[in-house]
Each structure stands twice: as structure tokens, then as C-alpha cells.
Structure 1
Amino acid sequence: MAIESVRKIVSSSPYWPVVRHPVLRKILPGVGLSYIGDGMSTVAITWLALELAPESNKGTWVAAAAVAYILPGALGGILFGRVLSARSGAQLAGWDAVLRATALGLIPVMYVLDALTMGLYIALLAVSSLLHAWGTAGRYTLLTEVLQERHHLAGNAVITIFGEFATVVGPPAAALLIAWGGAATVIAVDAATFALLALTYRLAAPGTAASGTPRDQASRSAGFRAILGDRRLSGLLALTFGYFFLFGPVLVALPVLVSEDLGGSAATLAWYYTAFGVGSVIGGLITGYLRNWLLWPTTIGIVTGFGAALLPMGLGAPTPVVLVSFGVSGLIWAPYAATSTVLFQRSATPEQLPQVLAARGTVMIVSVPLGNMIGGPLSTAIGARQTLLASAVGTILLGAVAAVAVLRRRGRSAV
């Protein structure tokens, strides 16, 4: 009786049609492993950079390695539009996995051969990330291709859950593996997860027909042009950029606040990130159950709620309160990727979707680093706590502006 009850609960879950889909149930384990591998590499990449960099300017080289693993994806999102925009979701995601497996796999090989210079290391990291925007677009395009529309939110949420779970388990796993075999070993494991993912896409994904041919695409910027030509999509892209940009200073100001203002240690900072990560995993699990909510109000509400949850950090609340509020902010943060992606999926035509999602990915890639760049000088000028308060208030105002814009648009359409 109890087993039957559990079975009914599981089968009624919004995630059941996703994880039981004949294609996705073969692909999702590989996607999850690759996310964990990337979660481990967030630690290993900077750690190996510290090992390779000269003593005189380690900080500069570490920053260069971190940037090389992220920003070239934005460049690739624009440069390869003419070639990749008409490909199927499985092709886009699979090619990204192949490139990542190859470029990252060369790092430990060259390290073992004692031929890994700092310049070569940064070049390989940059190459590995070139198709990142298209790989992300491919994952979400594949979900659109194989799932019915009512399951898109749950499918997107599964990807979010993988990503957030990786931020919780990846770094500690990397620390253990670095202690055993070094940072290059962690990157080798990450490369292996992408090789497995590439093989999975090749063998398990359907031969989904592409939406056109490369010569059908007028330019490399087709995705951006499609977004700018649609007021809903351009507004959603602006909201997404602002949301992630305003989160950037938080990642810079929080360590400063913990170390200088609160007198905490690295362990204290880890507790903050753990609270956020646990909240994000829970938020990701909840996302699938929002399928009957109106997506525009929900997405805007997430932005506003996230800003409100950050307020205690900027207002000087006691540490236990701030820890809880940061965990709540993670819970609110997580559904945004899934709900906003559904809005893109429903607003773009099937022919436009890969380009539109790649353009969105390009913007997301650059938005947080730009926020990081603002966060450093701002923390120095006005203080870490005030920077966190500014991010919180700015995010609330962003949500309010978006809500007004949506209400005005609906008012005009009703006239």
C-alpha cells in the first residue's frame, strides 16, 4: 500500500514525463555528470593557474584564467551564428561537449608532459568555452524539440537543478581530488564527463531535423536581430541582463564583507555559499510545480523577491539572519532560468529558437563578469555592505520597472 502511494506521488510529479522520456532519460545522466565536472573545475581552474603562474603576478594570471573559461563563449555566440544557427539541439549541445572534452583533455596531457605553460593553459581554456552559448542553446532547444509545451518548464527546471546541485557538491569534491591527485586531475575528470556527454548525444539523441540550412541565415547576429524585432523578447533579454548584472557585485562584495566587516574566515564564507546553494537546489525542485502560474508575473516576481531577500545583508542584520536570507535568496534565484527560458521558447519561432537562445546565452555570459567589474571599485568606494544594499535595491527597482512595462503593454493591447 505504501509502495503504491509512493508510486502515485512520483508518477504525478511534473518531472516524471521529463525523466521518463525515451530520449531524455538517456541524456540527462550525462548532462548531470558534466555539470558536476564543471562545478569541480570552478575550483581546479584557478588552483592550477596558481600553480603555473609566476610569483610576481599570480593574481593577474588567475583572473585571466577565470575569464578565459567564460568570456570566449560570448564571442563564439556571435562568430558562429551563420554556421550553427540552423542545427538541431542535439548537434549544438554535442559539438560543444566535443570541443570541451578535447580542449580540457589536452590540459592534463600537456601538464603530465611538463609542457603546459601559462599561455597555453589560457588558450586551451578559451578554446574550450567557444561554443558554450551554443551548447546551452542546444540543451534547451532539444527540450523544446522532444517535449510537449506543457512540460517545458519542468524540463528547464531539471537543467537548473543539475546546475545548482553541482555548485553544492562540485567544489568539495574538487578539494578532495586536488588533495589526492592535483588540480590537473580534476580537469581531466571534467574533460571525461564532457566526452561521455558527447557520446551520449551522438548515440541517444534523435536525428532531429534542423530548422533550416546554414545558408538560410542572413548574418551571424540573427538571434539578436530576432530579439530586437520582438518587444517581448527584447524586454525579457533586458530584464535577464539586468538581473544577472546586478548579482555580479554580490559575488565581489560578499567575501569582502565576511573578511573585513564581519571578521570571518574562509569557512564562514563557505557557509554563505552553502546556504545559497542548498536554497537554489530546493528552488530548482520547486520550479516544476509552478507550471500553472502566469510566467511573466512569476518571472518578474522572482527578480523583485530576490532583491528583497538580499536586503538583510545590506542592512546589517545579524549573521544568522543573513545566512537564512541568503539561503532564501538562492531559493528565489533558482526558478528564474527555467521560467525565463520558457518565455523565450514560447515567444520565438522554431526556426529562430537556436539563434535566440544563443544570443540570450551570450548576454548571460557577459552580464555577471561585468557586474563583478563594477563590484570591485564600488566596494572600495562605498564599502561592501553598501554595495550589497545597492545591488538589492537595484534589483527590486528592476523588477518594478519590468512590472510597469508589462502592465503598460497589456493596457495598450486592451485598448
Structure 2
Amino acid sequence: MLTAVKRTPYWPVVTHPVLRKVLPGIGLSSIGDGMSTIAIAWLALQIAPPDQRGTWVALAAAAYVLPGALGAVAFDRFLRGRSGAQLAGWDAVTRAVLLGAIPLCFVLGALSPVLYVVLLALSSLLSAWGKAGRYTLLAELLPDEHMLAGNAVVNVLLEFSTVGGPPLAALIIWLVGPAAVIAVDAATFAVLALTYGRAVPPEAKAVSVKATSGRSAGFQLIGRSRELLGLVVLSFGFFVLFGPVTVALPLHVSQDLHGSAAQLAGYYTSFGIGAVLGAILAGYLKNWPMRLTTVGTVLCFGLVLLPLGLSGSVYIGWLAFGLCGLTWGPFPSTTTVLFQRAVPKEQLAPVLAARGAVLSLASPAGALIGAPLILALTAQGALTASAVGMIGLSLLAALFFALRRETQVADDRSS
């Protein structure tokens, strides 16, 4: 058994002297974040005036995501020369302190909806840099041949949060309340901060890479590279096209299928299980062409999403959404490894932070598109339209990368 485990691409990652100490902290904090996806909206419902609940739920959800894009630009000059461990650690400290202030204010009776949204927004200001630092640390510690497996291990931990986090949150909310869930999430970030502080050796934390000149260096580097720009556009389009699904699926279940909340939860559980399996699979794809694999992921996602919009069966929908999760699983790992290979380590953190800032806007933009799309096409039609859009996007991306490759070959021959 142990011999078989040692033969997997993950063995060098999980036995790495630094990563074997950091990975449990990442896994714990991802579970906490998975719990907060439920608790943030539930606490907003609890503290908001009855006639304004929808507004404050939307503001709370946006506040936990969108400020990361602002922070990627606002703190670029101060953070772009820092090591991956520093960036990830500082984000964890920020999350722990500001999220921890929410249950404290709640217990003291001082948590108004405005203060709640402000604390959530401040807690997420460094989120793009924290994510960038996580993958930059992998690039700093792992050789190229283990990079994809390292990304996959981290993404398995992140995807598992969608499976384990919501049920744990529901249990704690039932026993204590949503503020307690956010307190647990803050505690997991505190553990993660301590992990980066103690597990990562001083020489890894002290790495201060040479910062590039000019503001928003990450955006500039992406803009100058057709390869990176194409990857960002592909990811952004993919996330925008998935946005209407998050709006249409609940309506499809409740109105078209006349289903229950439990049936809706079945869709997301199926997706989460598929995503975990897909993330595990990603580590075995290191010999595959990464660009083709990445584009193929979007194509397959669109193809397996089609039955969800075309079928009136809950069971077919569960299976289709589970397959969506399976095809999604490798996407974060393959796209990130393409950036890690294309960008020098000293420039990787600002580039990944810039990419994270752009992508953080994609899903909310897609959700906003979802409302008029559902009015025009119905919920089931919106699901089908998203699937067709993903298929079209993947074909355009394949054409772009094929033409770019031909241009590179022609340039090489002429030189």
C-alpha cells in the first residue's frame, strides 16, 4: 500500500519538509471558508431589517469577494516584492483578525448590517495576494516536474471545502448560530497564519524578490504577453458563463422541477464530489499538453452541462452537475501551472494577484447577466445557453492558441 502511494505524483509534495507542515493549515482554513459561504448569508438575514434582507445578503456576499480586486491594485507597490509565504501569511492574519471581530461585535450587541459588511470587505482586501502567495510558495519550493501535483494537492483541499464545509456550518448554525461559524472560520485562519509563521523556514519567509517598476506591474506583465492574456480571457469568460448557472439552478429546481432545498443541495454535493475527484486527477496530467488540456476542460464542462438544461430529471441533473465538477477539478491546477512556467519566480506573485483580481469580478458579473437571461429564456434555457456559450468559448480559445503556435513556429524559422 505504501509503495503504491509513493508512486503517485503527490508523494514528493506531501512529504516535502515545508509543505507537509503547511498543507494541513491550508486544508483547515479551506473548511472554515466553506462553512462561511453558508454563514455569511445566514448572519446577514439575522441582523438585517426584515424588508431589506435581500439587499444585505447580496452586499455581504459581494463584500467577501470583490474587495480583493481593489487590494490587488491598491497594495501592488507594497507587496509585489514579497515572498509567497509572507503574502499568504499576511492575508491569513488579516482574515483572522477582522473575521474574528464579527462574532465579538455580535455578542456585544454592536453588529449592525453596515459594520458587518465593512468588516467582511476589509477582511478580503488581501485575498488576491493571499491566493497568489500560496501558489508562489509552491513555485519557490517545488521543481517544475512537481508543480502541477503541488497545485493539485492544494486544489483538492480547497475543493473538499465545498463537500465538508456546508454540512458543518448547518450543524453549528442549528446548535449555536451563524456568528459562531464565522468565529470558527476566523480561528482556522489564525491557525493558518501560525502555520506560515512557524512551519515555513526563515530563509523561505525572508525571500524578497526584486520588484518590478511601475504601478500594477502584474497587469502590465499580463498585457504584454499574448499567452497570459489569452489564459486570463479564457478563465474570465468561463467564470462569467458559469455565473448564470448559480442563479438559474435554484429557480430550475424550484419552479421547473418543483423540487425541494434538499434536491438543490444534491446538485452542489454532486458537484463538490466531482470537483474533488477532478482535482485529484489533475496531478496525473503532467505529461499532457497543458494548453490543450485547459481548453478541453472548458469544452467538456459545456458538453456535460447541456443535459442539465435539456433534461427534466433530477437524477440526470445530479449526474450532469457531478460531471461538471469532475471536468472543473483540473482547471485551477492546469491554468496555474501555465502561469508558473511562463512567469519568472520574481514576478509571479503580482501576476497571480492581478489574475485573481480580474477573475474575482467574473462570477458576480455572470450572476448579474443571469437575471435578464432567465427572463428572456427561462431558467432551463439559461442553463442551456451557458453550456452553449462555454462550448463556443473553448473553440475560440483553441483557435487562438493554434494560431499563436503557428506564429511562433514561423518566427522561429525566420530567425
TM-score, normalising length: structure 1: 0.97
The CA deviation at 1:404 is: 0.8
1:165 maps to: 160
* Distance in 2 of aligned mates of 1:181 and 1:314: 38
Match of 2:250 among 249, 255, 260: 255
Match of 1:212 among 196, 209, 212: 209
The CA deviation at 1:180 is: 1.0
2:362 maps to: 367
The equivalences for 1:6-405 within 5 A come to 6-206=1-201, 207-208=203-204, 209-212=206-209, 216-405=211-400
Please list every run of 5 or more consecutive structure 2 residues that lacks an aligned counterpart in the other structure: 411-415
One-letter code of the match for 2:313?
P
One-letter code of the match for 1:249?
P
Q: Moved runs in structure 1, 4+ residues, more than 4 A? A: none
One-letter code of the match for 1:151?
H
The CA deviation at 1:318 is: 2.9
One-letter code of the match for 1:54?
P
Stretch of structure 1 that moved more, 251-260 or 307-316:
307-316
- Provide Cα deviations, 1:203-260, integer angstroms capped at 9, x if missing partner: 11133253535xx443331101000101101111111111111111111110110011
Q: Percent identity?
A: 57
One-letter code of the match for 2:133?
G
One-letter code of the match for 2:96?
A
The CA deviation at 1:320 is: 1.9
Please list every run of 5 or more consecutive structure 1 residues that lacks an aligned counterpart in the other structure: 1-5
The CA deviation at 1:188 is: 0.5
Root mean square deviation of aligned Cα = 1.0
* Distance in 1 of aligned mates of 2:243 and 2:114: 27
* Distance in 2 of aligned mates of 1:12 and 1:364: 35
The CA deviation at 1:319 is: 2.6
* Distance in 2 of aligned mates of 1:365 and 1:44: 20
User: Secondary structure, in 3 states, of the residue corresponding to 1:290?
Assistant: coil
* Distance in 1 of aligned mates of 2:35 and 2:317: 27
Contact 2:257–2:312 (8 Å) recurs in 1: no
2:413 maps to: none
TM-score, normalising length: structure 2: 0.97
Contact 2:244–2:366 (8 Å) recurs in 1: yes
Aligned length: 408
1:3 maps to: none
* Distance in 1 of aligned mates of 2:391 and 2:208: 39
* Distance in 2 of aligned mates of 1:226 and 1:141: 16
User: Secondary structure, in 3 states, of the residue corresponding to 1:219?
Assistant: coil
The CA deviation at 1:60 is: 0.3
One-letter code of the match for 1:339?
T
One-letter code of the match for 2:52?
N
* Distance in 2 of aligned mates of 1:282 and 1:413: 35
